[in-house]
Amino acid sequence: MTTRHFLSLMDLSPQELDRMLDRAIEIKGKQLRREVYEPFKNYVLGMIFEKSSTRTRVSFETGMVQLGGHAIFMSPRDTQFGRGEPLEDSARVMSKMVDGVMIRTYDQSNIELFAKYATVPVINALTDQFHPCQLLADLQTYREHRGSIQGKTVVWIGDGNNMCHSYINAAILADFNLHIACPEGFDPDPAIVQRAGDRITLFRDPKEAINGAHLVSTDVWASMGQEDEQKQREAAFSGYQVSPALMDLAASDALFMHCLPAHRGEEVSHDMLDDPRSVVFDQAGNRLHAQKALLEFLFLAAK
């Protein structure tokens, strides 16, 4: 038995990612036709949330039920995670009971430590460094609307955060060009940028970065855990709002994505999410289907 983890997108090969996206589209079709597909009857996914979530919790929990299994929600407030039980111990205990563990936490090192001791697949459901599950949904959404993303230009506008880092990893695996426009002091981690080589171009001016782009993506200016920096960040990012007028500088068939939740009037104008180029609600809905394809991949690898 091989235990495969999904701690970042780089845990997949380009071919595995490509197949997973096609599979996500197939699984979505089954669900839309209300076909019953329950390969994982009696499987249980443990879900540890150290940060808030709507989409991630609902999509994993719904996905497990639809696949014939079950999911357990755990928060630090009412488990021993909040009382300092070592991750090494928790990983070994949970591995004796559940078939996979999904974790949303702060530092990437927490999930790496957990995975080191777990004998069941561990899934990164967002850390300060990465949000790989979101990228599965984003890439699925692009594929459904526009076909292959290979060779296209994607632009990331805003904070060089966990989502930006996952877009960098996606650029490597799915072979697209990524323009990144961040204010000074909010660039992505240079070590992650460096791995992607010449696929990445850094900009300061969002108007320059968006020029001709096929996909435009942004995120909140202050991520979970950075609430104290909200005011300072609003000032630093004030020229980085994505609006229909900015989108007009992108390619004529450009799509707009945002992982949500969005702050209208900050990183997006009040009308951006309702613009015809916005696919944010398809993107959010695809979390369900993309993660079912991920669960299938990980559970079948572990069988």
Binding site for ligand NVA (CB under 6 A): 126, 131, 161-163, 219-220, 223-224, 259
Which is the catalytic residue, given 5, 219, 241, 283? 219
Q: State the nearest-atom distance from the C-beta of 68 to ligand CP, in Å.
A: 23
User: Amino acid identity of 127?
Assistant: T
Which 4-33 positions form the footprint of ligand CP (CB under 6 A)?
none
Quick check: 55 binds ligand CP (CB under 6 A)? yes
Q: State the nearest-atom distance from the C-beta of 257 to ligand CP, in Å.
A: 11
What residues form DSSP beta bridges with 124?
103
Please say if 134 is a catalytic residue: yes
Quick check: 281 binds ligand CP (CB under 6 A)? no
Which residue number, 134 or 153, has a Cβ lying nearer to ligand CP?
134
Q: State the nearest-atom distance from the C-beta of 53 to ligand CP, in Å.
A: 3
Which residue number, 12 or 125, has a Cβ lying nearer to ligand CP?
125
Rg (CA), the chain: 19
Which residue number, 95 or 134, has a Cβ lying nearer to ligand CP?
134
**Chain centroid offset of residue 231 CA:** 25
> How far is the C-alpha of 194 from the C-alpha of 288, rounded, in Å?
32
Quick check: 178 binds ligand CP (CB under 6 A)? no
* 81 closest CA partner among 54, 55, 111: 111
Tell me the site size for ligand CP, rule CB under 6 A.
8
- Among 3, 31, 53, 269, which residue interacts with ligand CP (rule: CB under 6 A)? 53
Length of the chain: 303
Which is the catalytic residue, given 104, 143, 165, 258? 104
> How far is the C-alpha of 288 from the C-alpha of 113, rounded, in Å?
27
Please say if 259 is a catalytic residue: yes
Q: State the nearest-atom distance from the C-beta of 226 to ligand NVA, in Å.
A: 8
Which 207-266 positions form the footprint of ligand CP (CB under 6 A)?
259-260
Which residue number, 53 or 62, has a Cβ lying nearer to ligand CP?
53
> How far is the C-alpha of 75 from the C-alpha of 220, rounded, in Å?
23
> How far is the C-alpha of 12 from the C-alpha of 293, rounded, in Å?
13
Q: Is the peptide bond before 190 cis (omega within 30 degrees of 0)?
A: no
DSSP state, residue 187:
P
* 124 closest CA partner among 273, 21, 247, 10: 10
Please choose which of ligand NVA, ligand CP, none residue 220 contacts, taking the beta carbon within 5 to 8 angstroms, the exact cut-off set by kind: ligand NVA
Q: State the nearest-atom distance from the C-beta of 282 to ligand CP, in Å.
A: 13
Helices (H), ranges, the chain:
14-32, 55-66, 87-95, 108-117, 132-146, 162-174, 190-195, 206-210, 230-236, 244-247, 280-302
> How far is the C-alpha of 36 from the C-alpha of 190, rounded, in Å?
45
Please choose which of ligand NVA, ligand CP, none residue 162 contacts, taking the beta carbon within 5 to 8 angstroms, the exact cut-off set by kind: ligand NVA
- Among 11, 17, 48, 56, which residue interacts with ligand CP (rule: CB under 6 A)? 56
Token duo for residue 143: 């594929």
Q: State the nearest-atom distance from the C-beta of 86 to ligand CP, in Å.
A: 26
- For the annotated catalytic residues, the residue numbers are 104, 131, 134, 219, 259, 287
Binding site residues, ligand CP, CB under 6 A: 53-56, 126, 134, 259-260
